[in-house]
């Protein structure tokens, strides 16, 4: 049985959970808070980051959410998520990087810092300018997603792919932290609403981080 080291608001762990759910790979969760990572955890992953997947019987330790995604894509045939000709696969991976790196740096990371780390760990008030800037940048990313969804059935092309899972994972954390203003983004709202109804997504939406509560619409499928 695979064990996934993660914490509830880690967007990269969420991306892996969505992938494993879509592929039907069973796993159990192990909580690992980023502000209290143990020596054991650093031994598993010198980068000190979630997600890490461990299969004790097979003596396998996998780190980095993209390396983990490629591993399950290569070893589990069900629900291919990096598919099509090489150019399509490059487009999927480009968008995964855009959400993992740009959306995360612009939106998810500042929200996690201001609304999770400051509240739970540092016990400082959030910086309202940082929050406003993150929400402003979120609109830019949602505009780009609106455009993609206007031109394609799914974000990277004709079928659901890792690009959709990466985007949904980031948005779900940003939405949990109250950082997504859906007004003016009907296309992306429709795409996300379809996503939220998938069985792979339900366990994420019902999970709660202690202390921090999501807005009322967070787990609703019809937002």
Q: Which of 14, 17, 93, 196 binds its own copies (CB under 8 A)?
A: 93
DSSP-derived letter for residue 32 is: -
Does 71 interact with its own copies (rule: CB under 8 A)? Answer: yes
The percent helix, strand, coil of the chain (3-state, each to 5) is 55, 10, 35
Residue 23 binds its own copies (CB under 8 A):
no
Q: Which region, judged by CB under 8 A, interacts with its own copies, from 61-69, 118-126, 166-174, 188-196?
A: 61-69
Looking at 3, 27, 33, 66, which residue binds its own copies (CB under 8 A)?
66
Quote the least distance from Cβ 28 to its own copies, whole Å.
Answer: 20
Piece of 65-73, 122-130, 165-173, 178-186 that binds its own copies (CB under 8 A): 65-73
Q: How far is the CB of 136 from its own copies (least distance, A)?
A: 16
In this chain, which of 35, 38, 56, 101 binds its own copies, going by CB under 8 A?
101
Read out DSSP for 95-158? HHHIIIIIIIIIIIHHHIIIIIIIIIII-----HHHHHHHHHHHHHHHHHHHHHHHHSSBTTBS
105 phi and psi angles, rounded to 5 deg: -65, -40
* Contact pattern from residue 140 through residue 179 relative to its own copies, giving x for each residue in contact according to CB under 8 A and a dash for the rest: ----x-----------------------------------
As given in the structure block, the two tokens for residue 9 are 């608001």
Helix (H) or strand (E) holding 169: helix 162-176
Q: Does 33 bind its own copies (CB under 8 A)?
A: no
Stretch that binds its own copies, among 33-41, 59-67, 131-139, 202-210 (CB under 8 A): 59-67
Distance CA 173, CA 56 (A): 29
Residues 6+ apart with CB under 8 A from 2: 20, 25, 26, 27, 28, 53, 54, 55
Binding site for its own copies (CB under 8 A): 46-47, 60, 62-64, 66-68, 70-71, 74-75, 86-87, 89-91, 93-94, 96-98, 101-102, 144
């Amino acid at each position: 049985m695979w064990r996934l080291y993660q914490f509830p608001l880690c967007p990269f762990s969420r991306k892996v959970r969505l992938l494993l759910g879509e592929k039907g790979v069973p796993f159990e969760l192990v909580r690992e808070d980023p502000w209290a990572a143990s020596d054991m955890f650093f031994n598993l992953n010198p980068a000190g980051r979630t997600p890490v997947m461990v299969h004790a019987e097979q003596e396998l330790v996998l780190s980095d959410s993209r390396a983990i995604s490629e591993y399950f894509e290569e070893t589990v045939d069900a629900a291919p998520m990096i598919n099509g000709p090489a150019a399509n696969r490059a487009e999927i991976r480009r968008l995964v990087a855009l959400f993992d790196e740009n959306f995360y740096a612009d939106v998810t990371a500042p929200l996690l810092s201001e609304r999770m780390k400051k509240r739970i760990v540092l016990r400082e008030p959030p910086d309202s300018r940082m929050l406003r800037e993150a929400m402003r940048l979120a609109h830019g990313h949602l505009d780009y997603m609106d455009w993609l969804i206007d031109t394609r059935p799914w974000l990277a092309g004709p079928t659901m792919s890792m690009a959709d899972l990466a985007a949904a994972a980031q948005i779900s954390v940003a939405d949990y932290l109250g950082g997504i203003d859906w007004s003016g983004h009907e296309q992306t709202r429709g795409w996300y609403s379809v996503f939220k109804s998938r069985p792979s997504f339900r366990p994420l939406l019902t999970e709660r981080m202690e202390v921090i509560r999501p807005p009322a619409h967070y787990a609703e499928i019809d937002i």
